[in-house]
Amino acid sequence: MKNVVCVNLGDACAGIEDHLREQGWNAWHATDLPEAQRLLAQASAQVGVLLLGHLAASRLTAVQQLLRSSPEVEWVGVFTPQALDSAVLRQLALDCLFDYHTLPVDWRVLDLTLGHAFRRSRLRERQEVSPEVINSMGMVGSSAAIAQLRQQIRKVTQSEAPVLIGGESGTGKELAARAIHQGSARASGPFVAVNCGAISPSLIHTELFGHERGSFTGATAGKQGLIESANGGTLFLDEITDLPLELQTNLLRFLQERTIHRVGSTRSLEVNARVIAASHVELSQAVAAGRFREDLFYRLNVLPITVPSLRERLADVPMLAQHFLQCCRADRHRRPVQGFSRQAIASLMSHDWPGNVRELFNRVQRAVVMTDQRFITPCDLGFSVKDPSTGPALDEVRTLAERNAISLTLGRVDRNITHAARELGISRMTLYRLMDKHGLAHQMQ
C-alpha cells in the first residue's frame, strides 16, 4: 500500500488529497503541525506532501523539526513561487525535501515525482547495511571495484603462495589480509599483524625472530618472535618497505626454507606460516631506488592484489558512512543522531578522500560526537558550508541520490539488469539510459 500524508499549512492546493486517492494512494490530511505529527506516528507513510504558502521563519523552524522527526518519509514540497523568496524555506528544501514543485501544479510531473519518492522510500527501508554486505569478507560496499577485490580475494584464498597487497594509505589493506586469512584453510590458526614501520630498528630483529636467554644484555629469558607465533596461520607484514635491508635477507631465507633462527641460537626452527605483505609504496620503485631487495620482491609478488582507493569506489561512500554511523552509535557514543542531511551526503560524494576509508571513518566519528542535531551536516563532518544561494541545487542532490540508488541496487542483485529494473520500478531501457547518464555502465563489465 502506498501511504502519503498531506500537510497543508496554507491551503496552497485544494483537492490534492482527492487527486492522490484517484492515483491509488492511501492519503491522510493534516492542516496543522500537531495533527501532522499524530498522523505520521499512526499512518506508516512512505511519502509526505508539504503544502506551504507564506509562513513566518519561526513556523518554518517548527516545520523543519516535523520533517526531521520522520526520516523514513520522503517529503515533496508544493509551494507558491513567492514562498521561495525565503532563505529559510530554501534551506529547508535543501536539507529535508526529496523534491519540490511550485504552483500551479503540473499533475503529471507531480505524480512522477511522488512515484520516485515512493520507490526511494522503499529503497531506504532496505538501505540499512545488510548483514550479508557487512559479513562479505568484512568489506562494506557494492561497487564494481569492491566486487572485483572480493573476487580476487576468493581466488588467492585457495593458494598458499605469498600475497602482496598494494593500495594507498587508509584503504583497508589489513582488512583485505584478514579476509584472505579467514577465507583460507588457515582460518583456525593465528593471524599475526606486524607494522614494520612501527617497531624500533634496534628491536625489530628480536621482535620478528625472537631470541634465546642470555643472547644479549638484559635477555633474562627466551622469547618467541612474531614469525614463530604465526605458526599454523598467517603472518601479515604491513609497510614491508620499512623493513631494514639486513632483515630483508633473513625474511627471504624464511620464505625459501620455512625456517628461522632466534637471535643467539644455532638451532633452526621450522615455521609453517603464510606471508601476506602490504605497502602503500610501489615495491618496484623501492627496488629501483635500492631500498628493497629485488629477489625478495619477486618472492613476495606471487599473488598481487590492489585495494582500490575511495575515489575509485565513490558509490560506496553513503553505505560506508551509514555503516560507520551505526558503529559509532553502537559504541560508547549515545547520541540522538538519525542520519545524514542531503547536504552532508552531497559533501561526502564531492570530496576527494585523500585519506580514503580511514578519513571517512574519522569524519563520521567526529560528527557523531560533535553534532547537536539529529541529522549530520557538512559542518559536522568538517566540510566548509556554502551560502544557501550558491550551495548544491536540489537537482544536483537528487542526481547523486539517483546514482547511489542505482549503484546499490545493481550490486545487491549481482548486476542483473532485469531484477534491478524491477526493484527500482523502472523499465530495462530506462535503467540502461540512467546507467549511461551516471557513468555506471562499467558495473556490467
Distance CA 15, CA 99 (A): 20
% of the chain residues with pLDDT over 90: 30
Mean pLDDT of the chain: 83
Residue 330 has pLDDT above 70, yes or no: no
Q: DSSP assignment, residue 315?
A: G
The pLDDT of residue 91: 84
Residue 133: per-residue pLDDT = 45
Lowest mean pLDDT among 117-121, 151-155, 307-311: 117-121
Average pLDDT over residues 292-304: 94
Residue with cell 506516528: 41
DSSP state letters, 378-439: TTTTTPPPPPTTTS--HHHHHHHHHHHHHHHHHHHTTT-HHHHHHHHTS-HHHHHHHHHHTT
For residue range 198-219, what is the model confidence (pLDDT) as tens digits? 888 778 888 888 888 877 777 7
Contacts for 251-256 with beta carbons within 8 Å, 24 or more apart? 251/208, 251/296, 252/293, 252/295, 252/296, 252/299, 254/227, 255/162, 255/296, 255/299, 255/300, 256/299
Reply yes or no on whether the pLDDT at 132 is more than 60.
no
The enclosing H or E element of 228 equals: helix 226-229
Q: Which residues pair with 268 in a beta bridge?
A: 261
Strand-pairing partners, residue 193, are 236
292 pLDDT band, cuts 50/70/90, is very high
Least confident of 82-96, 151-165, 248-262, 281-295: 82-96
Residues 386, 313, 376, CA angle at the centre, nearest 5°?
A: 35
Give the model confidence (pLDDT) of 367-404 as tens digits. Answer: 988 887 878 889 999 987 654 444 455 566 667 777 77
DSSP H or E run through 217: none
pLDDT for residue 362 is more than 60: yes
**How many angstroms separate the CA atoms of 134 and 264, rounded?**
46
Q: Do residues 68 and 36 touch, judged by C-beta distance below 8 A?
A: no
Averaged pLDDT for residues 78-107: 85
Helix axis angle, 342-350 relative to 317-330, nearest 10°?
A: 120
Letter for the amino acid at 110?
L
Cβ contacts of residue 374 below 8 Å, gap of 6+?
68, 69, 71, 336, 337, 338, 339
| Whole-number pLDDT of residue 300 | 94
The pLDDT tens digits for 397-431 are 667 777 777 877 777 777 788 888 888 888 888 88
CATH number of the structural domain 157-306: 3.40.50.300
- pLDDT tens across 31-62, in order? 888 888 887 766 678 899 988 876 666 677 78
pLDDT score of 130 more than 80: no
Q: What pLDDT is recorded for position 44?
A: 73
What are the phi and psi torsion angles at 275 (to 5°)?
Answer: -105, 125
Give residue 235's pLDDT.
95
Q: How far apart are CA 369 and CA 53, in angstroms?
A: 37
Q: Do domains 3-125 and 311-444 have the same CATH topology?
A: no
Per-residue model confidence (pLDDT) at position 57: 65
CA distance 169 to 279: 8
Tell me the CATH number of domain 3-125, given options 3.10.129.10, 3.30.56.10, 3.40.50.1000, 3.40.50.2300.
3.40.50.2300
Higher pLDDT, 43 or 187: 187
Domain coordinates in residue numbering, the chain: 3-125, 157-306, 311-444
Q: What is the DSSP letter of 211?
A: B
How confident is the model at residue 45, as a pLDDT? 82
The Cα 13–Cα 104 span in angstroms is 8
> Which comes out higher in pLDDT, residue 399 or 113?
113
pLDDT at residue 126 tops 80? no
Q: Which fold has domain 311-444?
A: Helicase, Ruva Protein; domain 3 (1.10.8)
**What's the confidence (pLDDT) of residue 149?**
92
pLDDT tens-digit series, residues 139-174 = 888 788 888 899 999 999 999 999 999 999 999 999
Q: How many residues does the chain have?
A: 445
| Per-residue confidence (pLDDT) for residue 156, from 0 to 100 | 93
- What pLDDT does residue 396 have? 61
pLDDT of residue 397: 61
